[in-house]
Structure 1
Amino acid sequence: MAFKIDRFVLAIIATIVFAYFFPQFGIPSSPIPIAAISAVGFFLIFFFYGLKLSPTQIKSGLFNWKLHILVQLSTFVLFPLIILLVHPFIRTEEQQEFWMALLFMAALPSTVSSSVVMVSLARGNVPAAIFNASISGIIGILVTPLWVGLFLEKSGTDFDYSTIYINLIVGIILPVILGLALQRYGHSFAVKYSKQLSTFDKSVILLIIYKSFSESFYNHVFSSINWIDLGILFLIVIAVFYLVFYLIGFIASKLKFNREDIITAQFCGTKKSLVHGTIFYKILFKNTAASSVILLPLMLFHATQIFIISIIASRLGKEADAAIKI
């Protein structure tokens, strides 16, 4: 069986390589206003997300409360607690920075589009996936800054919750509400061109990744990171993914979930959103000395989760189709 690497993962790699060789376009003194362009892009991402939301599908998944609780607790409690267990072993400032990057990744909400697509491919509970993926982003606006703020405050960093929440409301909630309000006029358009809008979303993400890494390469931030550290970080990311994946599966089986709900719980509960991550990175670490190292575990995890889940989803989907034919 041949495995294909996700094109978006390849695009991320290409963007980082481009930032390495041509960092001058992403630094603050660049004549290209990347910060302003990305800000507008993020607003449009969540505006179109509001246009595409289906209230009927969201309502249909409201009553499966055990599944919802398991997914959200896995996303916002289980993930961070696993990373917190490692904190007592942190000894150096470099280790602290990598650990903060892992905590930031662990505290992020789940993805929306990829979660739903993978659940659908595996023949899971799609309405429940839509509900959990959608509400995860809303919960993340409240919970993610709390997790990160606990440790940024301890490090003496200026961490203003009021400013952060205002920026998140303006950057995420406001455009979503505006999109919902205009669904009567734009919902069919957003659904019809959902593929093109997904490409737009990814383009904006690549833009902010380029800006983040170009600034870091320009300032030689990664000069202290060697291949051994990168390999260790990658192994940690994979270990965390599989630990959460199998813990969710174990709990779901004990709760006597059916096959479709177990798939939804594992797929939605193990995802971390690169869209929210890049936005939260800009807001939460704006006044800190944090570098693009903060985004590194998230991008490694993003590539890992897409690759592994796509393989599992394809296998489960084929098994479900074969069972129907029998």
Structure 2
Amino acid sequence: MHLFVRKILLDPFLLLLLSAMLIAAVLPARGEAADLLHWIVTAAIALLFFLYGAKLSPAAVASGLLHWRLQSLVLVCTYGIFPVLGLVASHLLRGHLPDDLVLGILFLCLLPSTVQSSIAFTSIARGNVAAAITSASLSNLAGVFVTPLLVGLVIGTHGGDGFDLSSVGDIALQILLPFAIGQLCRPLVSAFLQRHARLTQFTDRGAILLVVYSAFSEGMVAGIWSHVDGTDLLWILATACVLLALILAITALLGKLFGFSREDQITILFCGSKKSLATGVPMAGILFAGQSVSLVVLPLMIFHQIQLFVCALLAERFASQPETASTAVQTSERRV
């Protein structure tokens, strides 16, 4: 326990995450600064996926696309197991939390996985990055259609009415296009990136810090923290921790149970256990128009921050473990 506490207190990346949250709490981005930050975050994510595209060989990308067992398991965790956990949690919490907060806890369980942080943490932990890119992108593309349908079925809101399909184009422009350009530029820049491996590591962590600051700034500016009391906040924190612990345990167990490699297990763990704030907030504004959207998204915001801290700790732990011989060979093959 003491080692765990020391790890949290001394880990530089976790300290940077905490600093980003504290800065956002004191100096949140507003107005034109928030608009500028949005473009900076977009550019950072685009650069991140350009670098992934430039580093990964076409053979590795093809293997990620064809790895249907892994992709299927991640989708089942995201849109099957997680919603069941949300239904159980929402049933148990009725009477303990306001209806809008209970609704928010169920809503977060219906969302797609994160994209940039899932892939970044997989990369830090030396997982199967090609499969992570495919899994995270498929999850978000499916979420454009699946999440509104689940909201309509589970919550009773007609999720398809007026749903904005432009998010599909946003995903393509922000993620798939930079990745494709990186693939095309790979012959020109791959040698440079191999000599400067820390560039991708810096971009991984920098993109996550920007997303954390941006998300926390939006919450501070919206003033959502003033709508709940201390007891409500404790219930949400406890529920978020339990949900994350359960899904992490389930994804880890399923990865081992189905005989996936260590790299694939890491990918399943990070891609199947997280929920997207960037996708969830715009969806909530559409799906719950006329309701207290700020309260609906509050559980998602809290869960999002907790998942980033926990997954950062897990990723650094995986990264600190020595590579097995087979893992080292697979890693070198992907970089050829």
In the superposition, the TM-score normalised over structure 1's length comes to: 0.74
| 2:304 aligned residue | 298
Evaluate the alpha carbon distance shift between residue 94 and residue 32 of structure 1 in structure 2; reply closer, same or farther with a 3 A threshold: closer
The residue that corresponds to 1:14 in the other structure is 19
State the shift of 1:18 in Å.
Answer: 1.3
Give the Cα–Cα distance (whole angstroms) in 2 for the partners of residues 190 and 140 of structure 1. 28
Aligned 1:60-99 pairs, distance under 5 A: 66-67=69-70, 69-88=72-91, 91=94, 92-99=99-106
Shift of 1:135: 1.5
CA shift in 2, pair 1:231/1:172, >3 Å: same
C-alpha distance 46-282 of structure 1, shift in aligned 2 (>3 A): farther
Residue 225 (structure 1) aligns with: 228
Q: CA 1:262–1:50 in 2, change beyond 3 Å: closer, same or farther? A: closer
Deviation at 1:162, TM superposition (A): 2.1
Q: Contact 1:61–1:131 at 8 Å: present in 2 too?
A: yes
Identify the residue that residue 108 of structure 2 maps to in structure 1: 101
1:236 aligned to 2:239? yes
Aligned-pair CA distance for 1:278: 5.2
Aligned mates of 2:14, 2:198 — CA distance in 1: 17
Q: Offset of 1:117 from its aligned partner?
A: 4.2
Identify the residue that residue 38 of structure 2 maps to in structure 1.
35
Superposed CA deviations along residues 22-71 of structure 1, whole A, max 9, x for unmatched, are 23xx1125487222222322322222221122223345677765455434
Quote the sequence identity (%). 19
In the alignment, residue 246 of structure 2 is paired with which amino acid?
L
Deviation, 1:212, is 3.2
- For residues 198 and 62 of structure 2, the distance between their equivalents in structure 1, rounded to whole angstroms, comes to 24
Mapped contact 1:51–1:182 kept (Cα < 8 A): yes
Contact 1:205 1:275 in 2 (8 A): no
Answer yes or no: is the 8 Å Cα contact 2:24–2:213 preserved in 1: yes
Unaligned runs of 5+ in 2: 326-336
**1:297 shift after superposition:** 0.5
Structure 2 contact 45–174 (Cα < 8 Å) conserved: yes
Change (3 A) 1:273 1:111: farther
Aligned length: 304
5+ long unaligned stretches in structure 1: 121-125, 322-326
Q: Distance in 1 between matches of 2:81 and 2:174?
A: 27
Q: 1:197 aligns with which of 195, 200, 218?
A: 200
Which residue pairs with 1:130 in the alignment?
129
Give the distance between the partners of 2:130 and 2:205, measured in 1 at CA.
Answer: 22
Q: Give the distance between the partners of 2:59 and 2:121, measured in 1 at CA.
A: 20
1:182 aligns to what SS in structure 2?
helix
Structure 1 residue 310, shift from structure 2 partner:
4.9
Residues 191/283 of structure 1: CA separation in 2 closer, same or farther (3 Å cut): farther
* TM-superposition CA deviations, 1:116-137 (whole Å, max 9, x none): 443x4xxxxx5xx234312112
Does the 8 Å contact 1:71/1:132 carry over to 2? no
Distance of 1:217 and 1:177 partners within structure 2: 36
Higher mean C-alpha displacement, 176-185 vs 45-54: 45-54
Deviating beyond 6 angstroms after TM superposition, the runs of 4 or more aligned structure 1 residues are 61-64, 273-276
**1:1-326 aligned within 5 A:** 2-3=3-4, 4-5=7-8, 6-23=11-28, 26-30=29-33, 33-59=36-62, 66-67=69-70, 69-88=72-91, 91=94, 92-104=99-111, 107-108=113-114, 111-118=118-125, 120=126, 129-150=128-149, 155=157, 159-248=162-251, 250-251=253-254, 255=258, 257=259, 261=260, 263-264=262-263, 266-272=265-271, 277=276, 279-281=278-280, 284=283, 290-291=293-294, 293=298, 294-308=300-314, 310-311=316-317
* Aligned-partner residue type, residue 298 of structure 1: H
Q: Tell me how far apart the structure 1 counterparts of residues 85 and 320 of structure 2 sit (CA, whole Å).
A: 28
The Cα shift of 1:204 comes to 3.5
Is the Cα contact below 8 Å between 2:114 and 2:275 reproduced in 1?
A: yes
Residues 53 and 229 of structure 1: is their aligned pair in 2 closer, same or farther, counting only changes over 3 Å?
farther
Provide the aligned C-alpha RMSD in A: 3.8
**1:65-100 C-alpha deviation (Å, 9 max, x unpaired):** 545543443344323332244345565112212432
- The one-letter code matched in structure 2 to 1:205 is I
What letter corresponds to residue 310 of structure 2 in structure 1?
A: T
